[in-house]
């Protein structure tokens, strides 16, 4: 979404000016003002069709909108791209149904919104000719690589309800700005994904707690959400040999909307800096519970051809864990857009600890 700076500049100014204003209403007013010309997205959530011709229908109170009236494989004019971008900024995740994107179309669509990330390593299910596309079934293969069956792998990565929630690559110094996930094959039931709006979650805290957490920073580390096997666990050895960790602000200022975003997740967040471990654990439990309250979430039922496009700076998501035992295939492809180094309310950027460099994947 880095190429959205111009469009978002106005919204950022509004957001930055009001970033100190408390309350969900203030945050939502800021978000509503991040709309681009050419699209009708009302702050109250009514569906509207703008000059771009796309229709945006919000599907939950704080997050999520379904967009219709656009063929993502076609040549998109600038007004449509601006409209989609505005809807992503406003609703944090947008959904498209019945799309006919192939890998090339997926990458071309992503390019309209930023620079697709090229991953250094992908599994064998990912398409070799499209280095920007990662087929998420790959991550299930990983279990086998470390001597675990499919079910055990999933279970060890999601051992508590909250630990599975994550933004993509949150331990990096520059986590992706956005992810575009496309469904090829989905189970007939089960397999939904859920997202949460971290700007709304921050705005929903009481004023003194907002002030308190805005001054904190925290260490994010790859593997925190993983529950080790008893005895020798080759995945733990792998994690130790390939560490990725950064210190991020606990509240980041969104670079495009100016909103304050509660930068927490269960999968990467290890410890709040400069406070004791028990204090950190208690605060994190409270913040994670806040970040995943049902009212800040939306759940999406996938169909083949569905596409979800989310702002990875303002959301966390939970991959499904209700389908592995069913044995139905689920094949998804994702393209991520390069992101910025986060900055806190004091303007201080995140700092790398180990294994991560800006722009280097
Ligand atoms: C992810 O957790 O990044 C993928 C989400 C999904 O496959 O539903």
pLDDT single digits (tens) 218-247: 999 998 888 888 889 998 999 899 999 999
Report pLDDT digits (tens) over 44-85.
444 656 667 899 999 999 999 999 999 999 999 999 999 999
Q: Is 166 a catalytic residue?
A: yes
**Mean of pLDDT values over 272-294:** 97
Mean residue pLDDT of the chain comes to: 86
State how far the Cα of 285 lies from the Cα of 325, in Å rounded to an integer. 29
- Show the CA angle centred on residue 153, arms to residues 149 and 158, nearest 5°: 150
Q: What is the C-alpha separation between 17 and 342, in angstroms, rounded?
A: 18
* Closest Cα to atom 4 of ligand 1: 319
Check residues 10 and 236 and name the one with the higher pLDDT. 236
Q: Which of 85, 157, 163, 168 is catalytic?
A: 168
Q: How far apart are CA 116 and CA 102, in angstroms?
A: 16
CB 4 within 8 A of CB 34: no
- For the chain, the structural domain boundaries read 2-354
**Rounded-to-integer distance, Cα 293 and Cα 60, Å:** 13
From 214, 218, 342, select the one nearest 284 (Cα to Cα). Answer: 218
Residue closest via CA to ligand 1's atom 2 equals: 319
The reply to whether the predicted model has a pTM over 0.85 is yes
Question: Which atom number of ligand 1 is nearest to the Cα of residue 193?
Answer: 8
CATH class, range 2-354: alpha beta
Model confidence at 100, pLDDT cuts 50, 70, 90, reads very high
pLDDT digits (tens, 9 = 90+) for 161-202: 677 899 999 999 999 999 999 999 999 999 999 999 999 999
126 CB within 6 A, ligand 1: no
Cα(190) to centroid(ligand 1), Å: 13
How many angstroms is it from 295 CA to the middle of ligand 1? 20
């Amino acid at each position: 979404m880095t190429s959205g700076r111009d469009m978002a500049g106005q919204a950022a100014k509004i957001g930055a000016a009001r970033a100190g204003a408390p309350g969900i209403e203030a945050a939502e007013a800021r978000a509503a003002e991040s709309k681009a010309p050419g699209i009708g997205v009302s702050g109250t959530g009514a569906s509207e069709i703008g000059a771009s011709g796309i229709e945006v229908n919000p599907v939950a109170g704080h997050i999520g909108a379904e967009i219709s009236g656009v063929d993502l494989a076609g040549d998109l004019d600038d007004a449509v791209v601006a409209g989609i971008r505005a809807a992503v900024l406003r609703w944090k995740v947008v959904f498209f149904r019945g799309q006919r994107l192939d890998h090339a179309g997926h990458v071309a669509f992503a390019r309209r919104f930023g620079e697709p990330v090229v991953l250094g390593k992908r599994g064998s299910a990912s398409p070799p000719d499209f280095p920007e596309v990662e087929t998420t079934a790959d991550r299930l293969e990983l279990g086998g690589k470390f001597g675990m069956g499919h079910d055990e792998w999933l279970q060890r990565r999601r051992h508590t309800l909250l630990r599975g929630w994550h933004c993509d690559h949150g331990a990096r110094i520059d986590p992706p700005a956005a992810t575009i996930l496309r469904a090829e094959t989905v189970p007939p039931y089960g397999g939904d994904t859920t997202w949460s709006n971290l700007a709304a979650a921050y705005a929903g805290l009481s004023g003194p707690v907002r002030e308190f957490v805005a001054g904190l920073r925290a260490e994010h580390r790859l593997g925190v959400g993983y529950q080790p096997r008893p005895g020798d666990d080759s995945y733990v050895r792998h994690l130790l040999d390939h560490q990725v960790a950064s210190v991020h602000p606990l509240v980041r200022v969104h670079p495009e909307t100016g909103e304050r975003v509660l930068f927490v997740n269960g999968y990467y967040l290890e410890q709040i800096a400069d406070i004791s471990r028990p204090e950190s654990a208690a605060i994190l439990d409270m913040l994670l519970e806040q970040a995943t309250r049902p009212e800040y979430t939306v759940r999406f039922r996938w169909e083949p051809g569905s596409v979800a496009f989310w702002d990875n700076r303002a959301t966390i998501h939970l991959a499904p864990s209700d389908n592995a035992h069913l044995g139905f295939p689920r094949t998804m492809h994702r393209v991520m857009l390069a992101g910025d180094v986060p900055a806190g309310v004091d303007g201080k950027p995140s700092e790398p600890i180990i294994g991560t460099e800006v722009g280097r994947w």
